[in-house]
């Protein structure tokens, strides 16, 4: 049994892309500068490796989820909705991870 193709299959992934890209670009910029922030610190600076690792993992995971949302969108399955929600959530988690990094001296 086949179902009729959905006429607006692209709306969910488009909204997900619009919600994912701004925090992902911001997290990418912070990722590029994260190594420079503590480069002049000695041992007195607080550790920030965990925040950078979580932020980078969330950032790198949100991109395949967004691509998967576009791939599964035409099928209209349950996983399409999960991916459309998970991609912006992970991009936002990446930004939150970076912005909760402890400050140096």
Residues 6+ apart with CB under 8 A from 18: none
Of 92, 96, 73, the closest CA to residue 83 belongs to 73
27-31, 42-46, 64-68: the lowest-pLDDT one:
42-46
What does the pLDDT read at residue 39? 67
What does the pLDDT read at residue 7? 80
- The residues spanned by each domain of the chain are 12-30+48-99
The 10 Å Cβ neighbour count of residue 31 is: 16
Residues 6+ apart with CB under 8 A from 30: 55, 95, 98, 99
User: pLDDT tens, 30-55?
Assistant: 988 887 776 666 666 777 778 889 99
């Amino acid at each position: 049994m086949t179902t009729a193709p959905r006429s607006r299959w692209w709306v969910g992934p488009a909204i997900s892309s619009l919600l994912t890209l701004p925090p992902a670009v911001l997290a990418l910029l912070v990722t590029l500068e994260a190594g420079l922030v503590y480069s002049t610190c000695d041992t007195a600076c607080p550790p920030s490796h965990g925040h950078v690792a979580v932020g980078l993992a969330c950032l790198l995971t949100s991109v395949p989820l967004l691509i998967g949302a576009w791939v599964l969108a035409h099928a209209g399955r349950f996983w399409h909705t999960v991916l459309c929600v998970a991609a912006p959530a992970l991009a936002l988690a990446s930004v939150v991870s970076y912005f909760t990094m402890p400050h140096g001296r």
